């Protein structure tokens, strides 16, 4: 048996070596047939001796049963986001801030491509890959170990014996442009769904519940940094860590380069920009990092961004095409929005056939006619927008519709509004469908499995006619629906039952009152602690509440003036939707303070606002000289910059939690 174990390990070592030569170094030493023969020998021996299979065996790249849901996992060190700049002047300003903070020169920097892929965190313990997770919110991600193991460029065991006891390795999973195009050609030939873009397809592939499906996707990876690690590993510089990754068998990018100063970085940005269109993968900029890790520690972090790194973003990509027509879509509150239908065009390697037009005033401002040649702009994953008309078409002018495209009701337009509206409310099929979708969304009751297609299906079959009907669904009619078996039906019913336990702000938000979102729902929940109090409120009382404008007050009162809306809200409660009663004692510790919230945090914004208002603070939407505090989360933007300029006290999430608790 000992000899068999020894032979197995030799085969595994050989397979790891040749896989590294092929997938990481792109320099194979054996033919595919020779590799396959060796791999078949491994499978044969392990098949006869399953007790000898190890987690790092090459045979374990594809395997494992499909999972029902992804588990959450906390990173040992946060995966921080980066501040951004788009001009040389902004980059120079960042350099000056770093030097000023240190009161000395920051030393050399490292430049590397900013990959347009999906960030992952790989945990190796004693050299073996034990866990892989998505970035998530930077602190907590989703466990995707089985899926990541299918990526051949990810070593299941680090090649060197001289590795840390444990180490987090950060990488970017991506799909090459060539593989993206080839996959789409094959999918089109087989009548399968096409990928939208390399980045989105990489993200979707990593979140497949069946690892064998992920294995069919042409994923690769570049490792770009080290996160937390055990004390037995102490690199001195970022570039040293990159070189160590390479020695350990991880795939690192050939364009990582040390630059002695800012001028060298600017030159690197220009050189890589010239090569961008010829690269086999998508990038959207350059990441610049202080090289010395001691200097990185001295600079530290700001909120959830490192002070010692910045991303230089290349400008958005424009393209021109022909506007074929304009269609009008009806939203959940009756807003009728124009959408441009375009002759499909590639914008930054993504095929675009639709673009937003906002409202009829925008159409008139642009002077669009059918057949016009228009200039499109797309930045990252942002929905493309029409920037201007390049050449006016000879087609007809685009006139606003008079009747709702969904129900045929005559449209209205408020005196001070640019938006057309259908007044039919929930008797309009489009408004009803969008209202139910919103009701089930994460911001509201968060009913898992109730996506657009499922809602559309239930409405079409007449199983629901309003939001509250969701809580009366039975298993028998669900099982008869297309693509809905016993297990799926039960999962949906379980999710519906779980959704009954919610929060009062989420419940208010789910009602779909016009212009009432998460923030305003939290304010209303704090001021009117029961549903009946909210139903009975008048405009004058609402106007006494901070941050409630006259338009909001009128919308709330008009909503509950309709008997059907009152009945629906009460019926939801009767069917079991509930929330904890407020147990907070009167606390005026923040009385007189004016707060502004900016950026993304782990707490929902409604919860943050509720915590502040409950303690006597006011929450404003903009920073001014009267602002006393700013709670800044991840990707905080202009509000944070203005607060810094005015010298306002700024709290990150940790400081805010300490204050509240």
Residues with catalytic annotation?
114
Q: Exposure string (b/e) for 249-258, b if CB count within 10 Å is 16 or more?
A: bbbbbebbbe
How far is the C-alpha of 242 from the C-alpha of 222, rounded, in Å?
11
Which H or E run contains 202? helix 198-206
What is the β-pairing status of strands 257-259 and 109-115?
A: antiparallel
Strands (E), 601-660: 618-620, 629-632, 649-651
How far is the C-alpha of 353 from the C-alpha of 661, rounded, in Å?
50
Cβ partners under 8 Å of residue 585, min gap 6: none
Dihedrals phi, psi of 297, to nearest 5 degrees:
-65, -40
How far is the C-alpha of 12 from the C-alpha of 49, rounded, in Å?
15
Give the tokens for residue 383.
Answer: 């929905």
**Residue 44, CA distances (Å) to 8, 59, 591 in order:** 11, 11, 73
Three-point CA angle 42, 46, 48, nearest 5°? 125
Give the tokens for residue 585.
Answer: 């004692």
Distance from the first to the final alpha carbon of the chain: 59
How far is the C-alpha of 653 from the C-alpha of 655, rounded, in Å?
5
Strands (E), 521-598: 594-598
Burial of 577 (0-12, 13-18, 19+ CB in 10 A): buried
Give the tokens for residue 421.
Answer: 């509206």
């Amino acid at each position: 048996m000992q000899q068999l174990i020894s032979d197995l390990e030799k085969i595994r070592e050989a397979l790891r070596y040749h896989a590294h030569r092929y997938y990481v170094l792109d320099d194979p030493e054996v033919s595919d047939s020779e590799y396959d023969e060796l791999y078949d020998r491994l499978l044969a021996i392990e098949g006869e001796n399953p007790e000898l299979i190890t987690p790092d065996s090459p045979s374990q790249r594809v395997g494992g049963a499909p999972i029902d849901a992804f588990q959450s996992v906390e990173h040992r060190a946060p995966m921080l986001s980066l501040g951004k700049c788009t001009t040389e002047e902004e980059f120079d300003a960042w350099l000056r801030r770093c030097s000023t903070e240190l009161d000395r020169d920051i030393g050399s920097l490292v430049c590397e491509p900013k990959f347009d892929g999906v960030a992952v965190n790989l945990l190796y313990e004693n050299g073996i890959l034990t866990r892989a997770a998505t970035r998530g919110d930077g602190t907590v991600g989703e466990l995707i170990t089985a899926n990541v193991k299918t990526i051949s460029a990810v070593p299941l065991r680090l090649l060197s014996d001289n590795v840390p006891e444990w180490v987090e390795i950060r990488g970017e999973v991506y799909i090459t442009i060539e593989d993206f195009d080839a996959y789409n050609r094959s999918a089109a030939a087989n009548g399968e769904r096409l990928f939208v873009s390399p980045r989105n397809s990489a993200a979707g592939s990593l979140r497949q519940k069946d690892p064998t499906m992920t294995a069919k996707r042409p994923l690769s990876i570049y490792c770009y940094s080290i996160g937390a690690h055990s004390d037995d590993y102490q690199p001195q510089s970022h570039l040293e860590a990159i070189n160590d990754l390479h020695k350990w068998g991880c795939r690192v990018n050939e364009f990582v380069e040390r630059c002695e100063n800012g001028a060298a970085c600017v030159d690197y940005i220009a050189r890589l920009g010239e090569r961008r269109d010829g690269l086999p993968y998508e990038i959207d900029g350059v990441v610049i990092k202080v090289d010395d890790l001691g200097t990185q520690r001295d600079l530290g972090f700001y909120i959830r961004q490192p002070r010692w790194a910045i991303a230089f973003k290349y400008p958005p990509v424009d393209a021109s095409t022909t506007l074929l027509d304009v269609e009008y879509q009806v939203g959940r509150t009756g807003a009728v929005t124009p959408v441009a239908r375009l002759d499909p065009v590639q914008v930054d390697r993504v095929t675009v056939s639709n673009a937003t037009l906002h409202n009829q005033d925008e159409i008139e401002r642009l002077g669009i006619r059918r057949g016009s040649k228009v200039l499109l702009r797309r930045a990252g994953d942002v929905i493309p927008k029409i920037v201007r008309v390049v050449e006016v078409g000879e087609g007809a002018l685009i006139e606003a519709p008079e009747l709702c495209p969904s129900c045929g009701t005559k449209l209205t337009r408020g005196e001070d509004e640019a938006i057309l509206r259908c007044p039919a409310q929930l008797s309009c099929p489009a408004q009803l469908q969008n209202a139910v979708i919103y009701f089930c969304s994460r911001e509201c009751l968060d009913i898992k499995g109730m996506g657009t297609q499922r809602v559309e299906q239930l409405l079409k079959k007449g199983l629901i006619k309003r939001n509250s009907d969701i809580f009366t669904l039975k298993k028998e009619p669900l099982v008869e629906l297309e693509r809905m078996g016993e297990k799926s039906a039960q999962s949906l019913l379980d999710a519906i039952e779980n959704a009954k336990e919610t929060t009062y702000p989420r419940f208010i938000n789910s009602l779909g009152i016009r212009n009432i979102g998460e923030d305003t729902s939290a304010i209303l929940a704090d001021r009117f602690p029961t549903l009946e109090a909210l139903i009975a409120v008048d405009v004058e009382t609402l106007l006494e509440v901070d941050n409630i404008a006259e338009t909001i007050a009128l919308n709330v009162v008009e909503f509950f003036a309709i008997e059907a809306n009152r009945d629906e809200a009460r019926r939801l409660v009767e069917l079991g939707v509930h929330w904890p009663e407020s147990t907070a004692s009167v606390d005026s510790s923040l009385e007189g303070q004016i707060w502004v919230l900016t950026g993304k945090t782990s707490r929902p914004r409604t919860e943050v606002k509720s915590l502040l208002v409950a303690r006597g603070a006011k929450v404003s939407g903009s920073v001014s000289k009267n602002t006393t505090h700013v709670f800044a989360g991840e990707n905080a933007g202009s509000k944070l910059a203005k607060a810094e300029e005015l010298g306002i006290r700024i709290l990150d999430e940790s400081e805010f939690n300490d204050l509240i608790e």
